[in-house]
Structure 1
Amino acid sequence: MKNYLLLIVVCLLTGCERGRFNDNITKTYSLPDKNSEYQKLLTQEPESLSNDELYQRVLTLWDTPYRELKVPTSFGTAHIIVSGPADGEALILLHGMNADSTMWYPNAKALSKKYRVYAVDDIVGPGKSRLKHDDDSIETVIPWYFEIFDALKLDNPILVGASQGGWIATNLVLSRPQRFNKLILLSPAQTLNWLEPSVDILSNLLFALYPQRDRLREILATLSSNVDGIEQLYIDQFYRTITTVSPSPLLISMQPFDDEQLAALTLPVLILAGDDDLFNDQESIDRAMKVMPCIQAEIIADSGHFISVDQAELVNEKIIEFVATKQRQQIAKCKR
């Protein structure tokens, strides 16, 4: 009886995810408080901080209350940043390569006003999720995500994937289409078309092999149309990731989906790409519009591959509008 009363008190004080409490899920609440230990990190030089401390520094930009979850799975521990109303529709954010969930700092506040946002650190990439064995293939990543969704009872969520996260999100939907409500792809990498060789691609590859701080802005300019708009706290962390984390093990697996696979995505899909996008162009958008049965797609002006940063306000608006439209209304307008 005492344990039951304690459970009620814990739920009232901290909230139980989807009405479920699990002692194996660690809940750490953090607010953008000027006196918090994370804010104190802002006065220190980035070179003196650990990877996790740089991660927490960027979370001072989240600009809305959040909680961090550590969810145990059979593949390892999942780290998830959660924000927004507990009864809001679930919106799952999958980050890009050489990034982690902190990349969503320009989007978290707007998306969290109405929706329950879950930003997941990929288990085979940077961030705070931890793989407990050597199998880092897509065959591990896909069931790992579904274990998370099951643990948190995320039924019929909306998937939002950026860059490599878009490729992973597409794989997830193709694996179990009945589990998802909608799919949103932000400049998905190697999803609609092959990456065309270019000077910018070569520069990024060389930088990954031989990173130099004085070339960082040059490299960021190949990915963003507004480098000055990227917060320095995130730039510091991005550079640390480039210099300390191995390239994504999924790179070899990543290849565009064929027409049959894209046509199988019958749920509503939104695709946004930048007009100066390293990975997508009008041709890739045209292919999506031709092949996918329930698609909205658009090129966003004055934006590079970092579309969720370059045009954060506009991208947030388009995501919210797409999510707010009832699925049956969108499907009714789809190609038969």
Structure 2
Amino acid sequence: MSDTYFLDPNIGRSSSVGSFRSAVGFGRFAAAYRDGMSLLPRPDDVVAIPTSFGRVRAYRWGTRGGEPLVLLAGRQSSTPLWRANIEPLLGSRDVWSIDSIGEPGASTQTAPLTDTEDQVAWVDEALAGLTSDRVHLMGVSIGGWLTAQCAIHRPGRLASAILLDPANTFAPLTAKMIAVSMGSVLPGLPQRLRHKLLGMTAGGASVSDQVPEGRLIASGMRDFAQSVPQPARPSAAELAAISLPVLTIIAGASIVHDPRRAAAAARSIPGAEVELWPGATHAINGERPDEIAERVTRFIAEQMN
């Protein structure tokens, strides 16, 4: 299966779509991706879904059918970053993970993403290709932002939305986070400094090439040139108009935003369940996988009753 992950990757192509800067860079990223995937449970299905913006690589664990849980990773992230979460989340429903168009991963972008509508459109088309049922969509960081935007603009395929410390969704990005983001994507930045910047989002935790996830994100930042619009923060009116069941978990020690301000804004969504988890950092999905699985499973069960 390791030879069938990547879907004709863009290498050194037009700046209008995300692409790897060089064949050497792609090789470095692909090796880290394959190493990361080897640590996950073996998927029950691996598919490629055509969309208007490119082909989306998706993985399924479980064979139960019905409304699945679908995962959207964060910026510079892809399916291997859910390593700690897949097994705990497998309970009464299937789990899908999709690599996002425009991010370094195994999906391939073929058309420019010009605005938020384009970004939610590819997700909606990918979900249509996964299942005829509605899905519970869960995203972390920028994947949480994208999940919220789907709940606002394309809610038809969603049974619920689950947001894990979503970036630029309920509160502005902090100056510290902007500095980390801008600094870490500089192609010539020494790897040691790149790892140090990455570690800041996880409360200063050590990040190194000894861990496939660390290699994967560092390579994505170094070797992949993104071409995506800046994420627009939803307006108060847009949040108030969401009618889906929503669970939001804000990391109490996140550097991405002011956690209390973000939690307060999240509560403007009618009926939303909002929790502020003290001590958790923006790397919450890797830090608290069992707690997240228990809370998400309980939340989804509540929607079924």
- TM-score by shorter chain over 0.5: yes
TM-aligned CA deviation for residue 243 of structure 1: 0.3
- Measure the CA separation in 1 of the matches of 2:219 and 2:135: 32
TM-aligned CA deviation for residue 123 of structure 1: 1.1
Which segments of 5 or more consecutive residues in structure 1 lack a partner in the other structure?
Answer: 1-27, 30-45, 330-336
Change (3 A) 1:247 1:134: closer
Change (3 A) 1:294 1:236: same
Figure out how many residues of one structure are paired with residues of the other and give that number.
281
Give per-residue Cα distances to partners, 1:77-126, cap 9 Å, x unaligned.
11011112232531111111111122111101111233211111111111
Is 1:234 aligned to residue 213 of structure 2?
yes
Change (3 A) 1:117 1:248: farther
The structure 1 residue matched to 2:275, chosen from 298, 306, 326, is 298
Change (3 A) 1:201 1:151: closer
Q: Secondary structure, in 3 states, of the residue corresponding to 1:214?
A: helix
Is 1:279 aligned to residue 256 of structure 2?
yes
User: Match of 2:202, as an amino acid?
Assistant: S
TM-aligned CA deviation for residue 227 of structure 1: 2.8
The structure 2 residue matched to 1:308, chosen from 285, 290, 295, is 285
For residues 1-336 of structure 1, the aligned pairs below 5 Å read: 49-198=27-176, 201-209=178-186, 210-225=188-203, 227-228=205-206, 232-247=211-226, 249-251=228-230, 254-280=231-257, 281-289=259-267, 291-327=268-304
TM-aligned CA deviation for residue 226 of structure 1: 7.0
TM-aligned CA deviation for residue 234 of structure 1: 0.8
Which segments of 5 or more consecutive residues in structure 2 lack a partner in the other structure?
Answer: 6-23
TM-aligned CA deviation for residue 228 of structure 1: 5.0
Higher RCO structure, 1 or 2 (CA under 8 Å, sep 6+): 2
Give the share of equivalent positions with the same residue, in percent. 23
Backbone CA RMSD of aligned residues:
2.5
> Normalized against structure 2, the TM-score is what?
0.83
TM-aligned CA deviation for residue 70 of structure 1: 1.0
Q: Secondary structure, in 3 states, of the residue corresponding to 2:77?
A: coil
Equivalent in the alignment of 1:19: none
Q: Which is greater in Rg? A: 1
Runs of 4 or more consecutive aligned structure 1 residues displaced over 6 Å after TM superposition: none
TM-aligned CA deviation for residue 238 of structure 1: 1.1
Q: Secondary structure, in 3 states, of the residue corresponding to 1:325?
A: helix
- Measure the CA separation in 2 of the matches of 1:154 and 1:219: 41
